[in-house]
């Protein structure tokens, strides 16, 4: 297996990105489909990672809101978790944020993913809360 890489999604990639998010968030985690996709998808920078067969297996999106960008909708196919695809997506989201002038990033991490984000330089801020029926914590990190 080659080392996972990530790239900005094109308009042609969007159906595959949406399908992955539906598999992970709606089918696996029970998020209501009507809140999984939202108006922010139209303006967000979407990033994806593909496996060796070319299938989209990880994704995330970046929303710009002043100097602190927001990362969200991070999803990895169950079969590739722990293999570097999520880290590749996150690194590309960081690059895209810096290229657009952001000095920091914030995200709402599901509690089971907290350690993943801590390894990537994030720090939890505030208390645990519920989003879409799933426990989350807000996490932040500075960008170079």
Of 102, 82, 12, 79, nearest to 48 (Cα)?
12
| pLDDT by 10s per residue, the chain, length 144 | 678 999 999 999 999 999 999 999 999 999 999 999 999 999 999 999 999 999 999 999 999 988 999 999 999 999 999 999 999 999 999 999 999 999 999 999 999 999 999 999 999 999 999 999 999 999 999 998
Q: How far apart are CA 62 and CA 90, in angstroms?
A: 10
Cα angle, residue 110 at apex, residues 31 and 143 outer, rounded to 5°: 125
Q: Please give the full DSSP string across 86-113, using - where no structure is assigned.
A: HHHHHHHHHHHHHHTT-SEEEEEEEGGG
pLDDT at 1: 63
Question: What order do you get walking across the sheet with 68-76 strand by strand?
Answer: 7-8, 45-50, 56-63, 68-76, 104-110, 134-142, 123-131
Residue 128: both structure tokens together:
């645990």
Cα angle, residue 16 at apex, residues 98 and 116 outer, rounded to 5°: 50
Q: Fold for 7-142, please state it.
A: Aminopeptidase (3.40.630)
b/e code 39-58 from CB counts within 10 Å (16+ = b) = eebeebbbbbbbbeeeebbb
pLDDT at 119: 96
pLDDT at 27: 97
Find all residues with CB under 8 Å of 113, minimum gap 6, and list them.
74
């Amino acid at each position: 297996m080659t080392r996972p890489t990530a790239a900005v999604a094109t308009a042609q990639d969007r159906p595959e990105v949406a399908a992955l998010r539906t598999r992970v968030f709606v089918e696996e985690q029970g998020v209501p489909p009507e809140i999984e996709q939202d108006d922010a998808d139209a303006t967000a920078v979407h990033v994806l990672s593909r496996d060796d067969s070319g299938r989209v297996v990880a994704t995330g999106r970046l929303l710009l809101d002043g100097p602190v960008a927001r990362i969200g909708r991070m999803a990895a196919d169950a079969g590739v978790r722990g293999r570097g695809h999520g880290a590749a997506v996150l690194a590309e989201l960081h690059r895209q944020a810096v290229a657009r002038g952001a000095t920091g990033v914030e995200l709402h991490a599901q509690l089971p993913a907290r350690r993943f984000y801590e390894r990537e330089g994030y720090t939890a801020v505030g208390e645990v809360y519920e989003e879409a029926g799933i426990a989350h914590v807000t996490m932040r990190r500075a960008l170079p």
